[in-house]
Chains A and B, each alone.
Chain A
Amino acid sequence: MVKILCRSLLLLAIVVFTVTGAFGQDYPTQPIRIIVPYTAGGSSDYVGRTVGAKLQENLGRPVVVENRPGGNAVIGTELVAKARPDGYTLLVAGFSVLAANMAMYKNLPYDTLRDFAPITNVQDSQIVVAVNPKVPVNSIKELIAYAKANPGKLNYGSAGVGNTLHLAGEMFCLTTGVILTHVPYKGASQALTDLLGGSIQLMFDLPQTPLSNIQAGRLKALAVTGEKRLDVLPDVPTMAQAGVPEYNFATWTGLVAPANTPPAIVDRLFKEITKALNQPAVRDSFAKQAMVVKPNESPEAFRQFIKNEIDRIRKVVQAADIKPEG
């Protein structure tokens, strides 16, 4: 009796594995949607469209990018969390959606580790410290000294309370022990406008936004976080070179699928995406936008990475007492 049961279970297991494996082979048979939870034109959008174009080439099926902005990226993210886990709906999500939101909001309609099957990271972005030329500092050390001499005087802008740029700024304050005044805006470009105009004095920003103005000399870039200098800003030292190696804030963007997506499909996507990312042309186009292509070794590695990030940011949020919900 037991023998028959075991054999039929084994048979069942073989059938199931073959079938799911077969699904992995047949995938994709439909168009794939990549959801970008931001309005078109940002860095996540760029990631989605570039990766999407490559997937379309390699998988032979149409890949459509859909922008579903709103609610601090929560709306688009929730959509994918609740989507069918068949590999036809993917999400471009990164640091702020998967890690920071978890640390800051009590009532999120999704749980990163529970609702998503990570595929891989796509790019890492450093933070550049940009100041208005009127500020009398020319290096990070000078900035710290000036800030310590005038606590709370310097204003730095961010794209909103709890936003990546806000967290980057707070981490800087915690790491270096200075006091800066945070000024939230409705978006990085609005903050940039005031930075150029001189109403605020500095920004801890992703390099893409202020890049052209730094290159034109309208802003001074004091340092970048990260291990190497950016190709597009060869004269700007790294934090380590500037004497503040403790501050190494970086943000990342990757692709995830809804939880319970068949592992065969996740692996297939992982292979295709990493293959595309490792092409020199793709690496270069990202580098031009100051993004460093950095895929993981495996989807599990990405999952572990995300978990670590959530824990890391929880500490920062607690220490800086950031409470967007009041």
Chain B
Amino acid sequence: MIKILSFKDFFAGLMFVAFGGTAVWLAQVYPFGSAGRMGPAYFPTLVGGLLTILGAIVSLRGLAVPGQKPGSFHCKPLILVLAGVVLFGFALERLGLMIAIFTLVVFSSLGGTEFRIRGVLILAAVLALGSFLVFIYGLGLQIPTWPFSF
């Protein structure tokens, strides 16, 4: 059984191999050219290839050289904060800024350490009003405010 001595290095290396390999694979559709007259695929293939090789070395080092214990992954803040941002993006043009702000604040606050529904709603309301005044009224940015205004 192979023992992974450095969790971080091993998986970091795998990540690099994945990125590098994908780049090389995706670049195949473009013309390659030659060293003197490089095509669009030349440089990405070079860089991707190098990344793959070095990533493999990093992974191998993760098997041989001991490293720190890995930090813990906390799914809750990660998922909720990012979900809040993504939903903000979806809501912005369809439902307008006001609703999008509420969505963002509620979801991301759920990912926080303490969640008091009243405080969260007040915060969202304050931010919504403030954003309206500063960005839409003050700066004149073309952001849809309410649903179906575009």
Please say whether the chains A and B touch (CB closer than 8 A). yes
Residues of chain A contacted by B73 (CB below 8 angstroms): none
Are B31 and A326 within 8 A (Cβ)?
yes
CB distance from B128 to the nearest CB of A (A): 24
Q: Flag A55-70 by CB within 8 Å of B: 1 or 0 each.
A: 0000000000010000
CB distance from B122 to the nearest CB of A (A): 34
Are B30 and A66 within 8 A (Cβ)?
no
Residues of chain A contacted by B31 (CB below 8 angstroms): 326
Asked if B142 lies at the interface with its beta carbon under 8 angstroms from chain A, I say yes
Are A326 and B142 within 8 A (Cβ)?
no
Residues of chain A contacted by B40 (CB below 8 angstroms): 326
List the B residue with the shortest CB-CB distance to A84: B150
- In the complex, which residues 269-326 of chain A have their Cβ closer than 8 Å to any Cβ of chain B? 326
List the B residue with the shortest CB-CB distance to A33: B142
- Per the bound structure, the CA–CA distance linking A326 and B31 in Å amounts to 8
- In the complex, which residues 23-58 of chain B have their Cβ closer than 8 Å to any Cβ of chain A? 30-31, 40
CB distance from B101 to the nearest CB of A (A): 23
Residues of chain B contacted by A326 (CB below 8 angstroms): 30-31, 40
CB distance from B16 to the nearest CB of A (A): 29
List the A residue with the shortest CB-CB distance to B29: A326
CB distance from B42 to the nearest CB of A (A): 14
Residues of chain A contacted by B30 (CB below 8 angstroms): 326
Q: Flag A207-236 by CB within 8 Å of B: 1 or 0 each.
A: 000000000000000000000000000000
CB distance from A70 to the nearest CB of B (A): 16
CB distance from A201 to the nearest CB of B (A): 20
List the A residue with the shortest CB-CB distance to B40: A326
- Per the bound structure, the CA–CA distance linking A326 and B27 in Å amounts to 13
List the B residue with the shortest CB-CB distance to A66: B142
CB distance from B33 to the nearest CB of A (A): 12
Residues of chain B contacted by A66 (CB below 8 angstroms): 142
- In the complex, which residues 100-134 of chain B have their Cβ closer than 8 Å to any Cβ of chain A? none
- Per the bound structure, the CA–CA distance linking A326 and B40 in Å amounts to 10
- Per the bound structure, the CA–CA distance linking A74 and B120 in Å amounts to 41
- Per the bound structure, the CA–CA distance linking A66 and B40 in Å amounts to 33
List the A residue with the shortest CB-CB distance to B140: A64
- Per the bound structure, the CA–CA distance linking A283 and B77 in Å amounts to 61
CB distance from B59 to the nearest CB of A (A): 35
CB distance from A35 to the nearest CB of B (A): 11
- Per the bound structure, the CA–CA distance linking A33 and B69 in Å amounts to 58
- Per the bound structure, the CA–CA distance linking A66 and B140 in Å amounts to 11
- Per the bound structure, the CA–CA distance linking A308 and B40 in Å amounts to 34
Residues of chain A contacted by B142 (CB below 8 angstroms): 66
- In the complex, which residues 45-81 of chain A have their Cβ closer than 8 Å to any Cβ of chain B? 66
CB distance from A34 to the nearest CB of B (A): 13
CB distance from B41 to the nearest CB of A (A): 10
- Per the bound structure, the CA–CA distance linking A206 and B30 in Å amounts to 32
- Per the bound structure, the CA–CA distance linking A68 and B40 in Å amounts to 27
List the A residue with the shortest CB-CB distance to B142: A66
Q: Flag B1-41 by CB within 8 Å of A: 1 or 0 each.
A: 00000000000000000000000000000110000000010
- Per the bound structure, the CA–CA distance linking A269 and B40 in Å amounts to 45
- Per the bound structure, the CA–CA distance linking A326 and B30 in Å amounts to 8
- Per the bound structure, the CA–CA distance linking A326 and B142 in Å amounts to 37
CB distance from A179 to the nearest CB of B (A): 16
- In the complex, which residues 249-275 of chain A have their Cβ closer than 8 Å to any Cβ of chain B? none
CB distance from B144 to the nearest CB of A (A): 14
List the A residue with the shortest CB-CB distance to B30: A326
Question: Can you identify 4 A-B contacts, CB atoms within 8 angstroms?
Answer: A66-B142, A326-B30, A326-B31, A326-B40
Interface residues of A, Cβ cutoff 8 Å to B: 66, 326
Pick the 3 closest A-B CB pairs, nearest first.
A326-B30, A326-B31, A66-B142
